[in-house]
Structure formats: structure tokens, C-alpha cells
A and B are shown apart, each in its own frame.
Chain A
């Protein structure tokens, strides 16, 4: 019965070469759907993640074209028009020195996104490096790195950032370094635990049995397989880094005047809250939206990358 069916089937295929070709093409396409494409497909279906992408794209564009958006500069003072409520000339009003708030927020988007990017990249690179070394080589070096992570994590993160800035001096650059440092152990621990579970896998054993060197195993097998949690944490960490930068700016430990950093803007406008609430509302909303955007993307990525969550 079966053989007959097969025979018929193959006859059909032969009789229709166009269809055969099409089937082959389909089969090839099926094979090249990589985990990354699959993730992308999952993400596209996640409406909240899409919303997150739109928010972030919006702020990136605003940050990029900031100098061309308005006729004002972010530090240009205009005492006559101070504390104006939002109007046609000043879309989001002016602050206590008559500076256009919209211009300052647009320039602030550059600062916040850049701080987020460099702080997360730095933390991710060093965290991954230390995490892999600790997890793969184990023994005393794992002991040493893990204890250092313990110590760094023993501080509430903002306090550790304050400590680092207190040592290095208050500036935007040092705030960025501080934020990167406090996030290193978060990435480090994540990667370490992933590497430890991977180390016991059979394909790693197979690679070792083939005589592959440690460095090659790390680069070609361990690292690609630990990427998913790093990416998720990186996206979520972007939001936290921006919040931390704003907090340091608010405390006077980050960007210095007249840099239009969002947290610093909130600190400068504090005394005018009753007179001109818009000077505080808009920078705060901007921080919230950007962080929300990264959180939405991060949550979406986690759902897409975590096989346990898949239906």
C-alpha cells in the first residue's frame, strides 16, 4: 500500500517538475529559519514590544535631529521669556532662565541614550568577560571573581554609583563609568551561571574530545549559546542605566550645567514647581517613556527567546 502510494507520489512529482522545484525551495527555506529569525517573528507578533520599538525609534530620531528641530540652542538664555507656559513659540514652555524646554529635552535624549548605550556596552563586555572566565575556568579564579561580584552587589546600586563618582569626581563621563561598574556584576553573574550549565553539556565534551582549544570552545560554543539572556538583560539594563544616570544628575553628581541632562533639568527646576509645573513634567515624562520603551522591548525579547514561555 505504502510503496504504491510512494510510487504514485514520485510519479506525480516527476510529471510536474515545476512543483518539485517549488517543494525543494520550500524545504530549503524551512532549513534556513534560524533561531534569530524565529525570535524576530515572535517579536513582530508582540504588540507591546512593537510599541517599545516605536518609542525608542522616536527618541533616537529626536536626538539625532535635535539641533535642527527648533531655532533655539539648549543653553541660550532669554530672561524676558522665562517660565513661559507651553505655547506656539516654545512648544513645551521655557525654564527659569528662559531656555526652551523642548530643545533641551531633545538634546537630553542624545545624552540619555548615549549614556545608556555606553554604560550597558561597557558593563556587558566586562561582565561577559569576567562571567565566562569565572564560569569556564572555575577554581580559585571563579572564587575570586564571584566574591568581587558579591561585594559590588552588596551595595544598593545607586549608593555604589555615588561612591564611584565621589572617588572619580562629578561629571557626566564619570557617572557613565559608575553606572557601567555597578552593572558589571549583574551581567557577570548571569553569564557565569549560563556558562556553568553549558560546561556540562555533551557538545562541549565532544568539542574537547576533538582537541579543540579552550579559547575556541569559548568563542564558538559557549558564547553564542549564552547570548539570549545577555541580550535580554542588556535591553532591560538600558532602561535602568538611564534611570541611574538621571538620579545621579539629579543629585548633582552627573552632568554639569548647562548640559541638558534630564535628571539635572528636574533638579534645576525643583524650586519652580508651583509656578511652572511644566518645567518638571516634561523631562520626567521623557525619562519614563524611554525607560518604558526599553522595558517593553526587553520583556518582548525575553518572551521570544525563552523557550519555556513559547506556546
Chain B
């Protein structure tokens, strides 16, 4: 297990280097003159020269990459062209906002997805199975940003049940401690604010979680059907255990192993989908940060946002892989 962990960590090195090479290209390898592209057609020559000097664009590529790598390694993600602020400082609270959103989206996706999958497998070919699998199929075919827009229109604007924008009430903000507002409001013992925060979470979390939910439901169903056919489940049944015990205590444990892999992969999809969801719900997370970067041609922001999200994705996959080896003793590495 330890050897496997070490090997897995070593394998990360080329991946992380490759990732920085790609994000490096976003600013430094733009065809033509990068400074000109970033500043637009109307930029003056002196502004272009200034930017080139500021970003070190006149150096050879290898030197530029070396400087970039050294900066990233020290946690310096550069300077935003728009706000002139340090990206490292700006991105911190946004990572927390994105994590909070993806956590609740995943919670919803896992809870509903796994249970729908179990019931579908348990009552195979019933109307529930048919309906659940139909919705799962529609769920994976839907553009996530369209679902978000429709939710916003129906539940926020037409029915007025839930807030349409933001993380919290703009007139009554929470004093941030961890920047996870759910945790912060609990730490402050402010439960009416907690309710506000949770209400803001509902629509974006559901929009973001729908595709993973559909995929998890389909995966759980097929995995469950396979396990239910196995000998040990038949033995448990022969022992006289009730259906509930058979499913939740015995069958589910083995059925969940492939589902776990899917959950890990889907977390990456969530981080990518966050760009679209956060844009629509004005969620001040890292996805919206990248979107704003795109709109203002703020290339260092796009570059750093992508690097940070990809890095988080790699770490999550690492954790899932290790967990996988840990919970399934049949796998020997």
C-alpha cells in the first residue's frame, strides 16, 4: 500500500509539469505578439512594451517557463491585469466558494443517484426503474447551463421560491472566517444566516449535480444488478435476511466500488461545470473568476484559474485512487 502510494505520487510529477506547460502556453505562446493580443488592437506601442516588460515576454521561452514554474512553486500566481491585485490572494476565497458549491452538488448527486440506482436495480423493469433510467438518460443529454437557466427562471423568477443570484444576502453579509459560509454561519451561531446561505445553495447545487447524479444512478444500477446475482448475496438471502439488510448491508458495499471511481471522475466534471453554473448564478467562485478573466482578456487570471482547478482535480483523483485500493482488499498493488 505504501509502495503504491509512493508510486502514485511519483507519477504525479510529469502530469503536474505537463499541466504547467499547458497553462504557461496560455499567456506566453499566443500566436503573434501576446502583449498585443492581450491589450487588443487599439493598444499603444508603449502600453505593449510595458506589458512585455512586466510579464517578461521578451525573454527566451525556456527562461520564461523557468520563471513561471518558480513563481507557481512558491505560490505566486502573478498579477491580475484588471484589478492589479495578486491572483493568489484573490483566488483563495473563490476556491472556498467553489468547494462549498461542488460539495453540496456532489452530496445531492450521490444521495439521490445511489438510492435511485439501488431502487432501480431492486425493482428491475418496474415503472420506477423505467422512469429513473429515462430521467438519467435525459439528465446526461442536457446542457448544464441550460438547466441552470431554466431553474433560475422557474424557481427564482416565476415562483420566487429561492434566490437567483449570489451566495448570501448582499445587505446582510457574513463575517468570513473560513470563507465556507455554511461553516462560518455556524461558527458565528447565526442560524437565520445559515438558512439564507443554504437557500442560495439549492439551485446552483442541483443544476451542477444533475449530470453526475444521472451517471451515478446508471452506474449504481448496473453494478448493483451484477452483485445481486452473486453467490454470497444468494447465501445471505438463504440465511433469511430481509431484503433491506441484503441490499444495504451486504450487496451495496461491493456494488459501490466501481461507483466510487465514477464519483471521483465526476468531481472533475463538477469543477469544469462550475464555470458555467457559477456564471449563471453569479456565484463568486473560481469558475466565475475564469469567466470574468475571459471577458476582460485577463489572461493571467484565466491561466491561474485553470491551473488551480486542474490541480484540485488531480488531487481529488489521487485521493479516490488511494481510497479505492484501501477499501477493496481484493486489489493488490
Task: Say whether B150 contacts A162, CB under 8 Å.
Answer: no
Among A21-29, A222-230, A273-281, which stretch is in contact with chain B?
A273-281
Task: Say whether B15 contacts A159, CB under 8 Å.
Answer: no
Among A121-129, A197-205, A248-256, which stretch is in contact with chain B?
A248-256
Task: Say whether A287 contacts B294, CB under 8 Å.
Answer: no
Q: Is B29 an interface residue (CB 8 A)?
A: yes
Question: What is the bound-complex CA distance between A252 and B138, given in angstroms?
Answer: 25
Q: Is B273 an interface residue (CB 8 A)?
A: yes
Q: Name the contact of B18 in the complex, choosing from A147, A277, A291 (C-beta under 8 A).
A: A147
Task: Say whether A167 contacts B143, CB under 8 Å.
Answer: no
Q: Is B77 an interface residue (CB 8 A)?
A: no
Q: Inside 8 A of B31's CB, which chain A residues have their CB?
A: 167-169
Task: Say whether B149 contacts A156, CB under 8 Å.
Answer: no
Residues 300-325 (chain B) with a chain A CB within 8 angstroms: 302-303, 306, 309-310, 313-314, 317
Are A246 and B26 CB-contacts (below 8 A) given A151-B15, A158-B273, A273-B157?
no
Contact indicator per residue, chain B 128-164, by CB within 8 Å of chain A (1) or not (0): 0000000001101111111001101100011000000
Task: Say whether A159 contacts B275, CB under 8 Å.
Answer: yes
Q: Is A178 an interface residue (CB 8 A)?
A: no
Q: Name the contact of B143 in the complex, choosing from A151, A168, A288 (C-beta under 8 A).
A: A288
Task: Say whether B269 contacts A266, CB under 8 Å.
Answer: no
Q: Is B271 an interface residue (CB 8 A)?
A: yes
Task: Say whether A247 contacts B143, CB under 8 Å.
Answer: yes
Q: Name the contact of A167 in the complex, choosing from B14, B25, B142 (C-beta under 8 A).
A: B25
Question: What is the bound-complex CA distance between A277 and B310, given in angstroms?
Answer: 35
Task: Say whether B153 contacts A273, CB under 8 Å.
Answer: yes
Residues 230-260 (chain B) with a chain A CB within 8 angstroms: none
Q: Inside 8 A of A287's CB, which chain B residues have their CB?
A: 142-143, 146
Are A156 and B146 CB-contacts (below 8 A) given A151-B18, A166-B294, A250-B276?
no
Residues 92-141 (chain A) with a chain B CB within 8 angstroms: none
Contact indicator per residue, chain B 250-284, by CB within 8 Å of chain A (1) or not (0): 00000000000000000011011101100110000
Q: Is A296 an interface residue (CB 8 A)?
A: yes
Query: Who on chain A is nearest to B272 by CB?
Result: A156
Q: Inside 8 A of B268's CB, which chain A residues have their CB?
A: 156
Task: Say whether B275 contacts A158, CB under 8 Å.
Answer: yes
B81 to chain A, nearest CB (A): 14
Task: Say whether A155 contacts B143, CB under 8 Å.
Answer: no
Q: Is A233 an interface residue (CB 8 A)?
A: no
Task: Say whether A273 contacts B271, CB under 8 Å.
Answer: no
Are A273 and B143 CB-contacts (below 8 A) given A148-B18, A155-B313?
no
Interface of B is mostly: helix
Q: Inside 8 A of B210's CB, which chain A residues have their CB?
A: none
Residues 6-40 (chain A) with a chain B CB within 8 angstroms: none
Task: Say whether B314 contacts A273, CB under 8 Å.
Answer: no
Task: Say whether B149 contacts A284, CB under 8 Å.
Answer: yes
B131 to chain A, nearest CB (A): 14
Q: Name the contact of A280 in the complex, choosing from B11, B138, B149 (C-beta under 8 A).
A: B149
Question: What is the bound-complex CA distance between A169 and B153, given in angstroms?
Answer: 32
A152 to chain B, nearest CB (A): 8
Question: What is the bound-complex CA distance between A167 and B21, given in angstroms?
Answer: 12
Residues 63-118 (chain A) with a chain B CB within 8 angstroms: none
Q: Inside 8 A of A147's CB, which chain B residues have their CB?
A: 14-15, 18
Q: Is B68 an interface residue (CB 8 A)?
A: no
Residues 269-311 (chain A) with a chain B CB within 8 angstroms: 270, 273-274, 277, 280-281, 283-284, 287-289, 291-292, 295-296, 299
Q: Is B299 an interface residue (CB 8 A)?
A: yes
Interface centre among A162, A280, A281 (most CB of B within 10 A): A162
Q: Inside 8 A of B137's CB, which chain A residues have their CB?
A: 292, 295-296, 299
Task: Say whether A167 contacts B157, CB under 8 Å.
Answer: no
Q: Inside 8 A of B157's CB, which chain A residues have their CB?
A: 273-274
Q: Is A259 an interface residue (CB 8 A)?
A: no
Q: Inside 8 A of B18's CB, which chain A residues have their CB?
A: 147-148, 150-151, 154
Q: Inside 8 A of B141's CB, which chain A residues have their CB?
A: 239, 288-289, 291-292, 295
Are A266 and B149 CB-contacts (below 8 A) given A251-B294, A288-B143, A292-B138?
yes
